[in-house]
Copies of this chain bind each other. A is one copy, B any other.
C-alpha cells in the first residue's frame, strides 16, 4: 500500500469508486451488448454456447499482499478465470469484478488492482461488464466471474476422456509453486529492513510464473488451427496429480503418466534442489501453473509428437487399472490428489 498519494475511498463513495475504476475499460466484443452501469450486463451469443466460471479470492487465504503487488493481483485474478474458460476449449469474452475493501486501502490501491485487471482484459480481448465495490471488515475480497464462448461442437469437458487416449500437457509444471516458496522465504525481506532487497536473479521465471501467470488461450487457438477438439481438458490449478484424477474420476477411466515425460523448467529444478524437495512431487502437486491438461485420440500421436509447447506425458487406460505414475526406474505409484497447500 505504499502509494505516493492516498485518497480515502470514502471521498468517492461506493458508486463513485466503481465508476472511477471502470472508466478506462472499453468494450471489445460484439457479444457484449451492454456492460457496466445497469442491474445486469447484456450479452448476445447467437449460435455459440456461453461458458461461465467464477472465483472468490480472499486476502490471507488466496493471496498475501506482503509480496504480491496489487497490479499483479488484479492481473492474476482475471487470468485464473480466463484459464477456466480456456480449459473448456473456449474463449474468454466478459468478466464482472466485485470487491470487498477494508479501510486500510486507498483509491490509489484499487486503481493499481484495476490497472492489472485492465492489462489482462486488453491482452486477452475481454470486456469488463459489471461488478461493484463494498466495504469489508477485514482485508480485500475479490470475486470475479468470467463468461466465454465456444462452438457447440468444440466444448472440451472433463468427463469424456476415453481408454487409449493420449494425455498431453502444455508448457512446464511446478514453477509457480517454486516461485511461491521462494517468495515466502524472502517475505521477511519485504516486511523487515527496507535496505535489504531480495535477490531473484536467475529466478525470474519462477517468480513470474507465480505472480503473473498466463491463460493458455494460445493453445486453444493452436488446437483450433489443426482442427482438433480434445476428448477432455482441464486447467492445472491444483497440481497435475489432482487434475488427472478429476479427469479420470469424471470420465470413468484410469491413466498412466511417465515421470520422465513431465515437462519441468531448469529454474524449477534448481529451486527444488535448493529446497531439498523431490522434483517430481513438485511437478505433480505444485499448483497454479494454469497450463492445460488434455487428452486426444491415440491416432493423433504423430501430430502431437511435434507440436511446439505441448508434451505427451502418458495415456488413458481402463478404469480397472487405476491412475498411476511410472517412475524413472519403472515402478508404478498411485496418484494422490495432494494439492499444493498440503505440500511440506
CA distance A47 to B48 in the complex (A): 10
Tell me whether A172 is interfacial, beta carbon within 8 Å: no
CA distance A209 to B100 in the complex (A): 25
Interface size on A (CB < 8 Å)?
62
As a 0/1 sequence over residues 224 to 260 of chain A, the CB contacts with chain B under 8 angstroms (1 = contact) are 0000000001110000000000000010000000000
CB distance from A285 to the nearest CB of B (A): 15
In contact, A100 and B61 (Cβ under 8 angstroms): yes
Tell me whether A17 is interfacial, beta carbon within 8 Å: no
Tell me whether A280 is interfacial, beta carbon within 8 Å: no
In contact, A137 and B60 (Cβ under 8 angstroms): yes
In contact, B54 and A130 (Cβ under 8 angstroms): yes
Within 8 A of B (CB), among A27-68: 33-34, 37-47, 49-56, 58-62
Tell me whether A269 is interfacial, beta carbon within 8 Å: no
Tell me whether A159 is interfacial, beta carbon within 8 Å: yes
In contact, B139 and A137 (Cβ under 8 angstroms): yes
Tell me whether A152 is interfacial, beta carbon within 8 Å: yes
CB distance from A59 to the nearest CB of B (A): 7
- Ordered by A's residue number, 21 sampled pairs between the chains whose C-beta atoms are within 8 Å are A38-B159, A39-B88, A41-B52, A42-B49, A42-B51, A42-B88, A42-B155, A43-B51, A43-B52, A44-B49, A53-B130, A54-B143, A54-B145, A55-B132, A56-B98, A58-B137, A100-B141, A138-B138, A138-B139, A143-B143, A145-B145
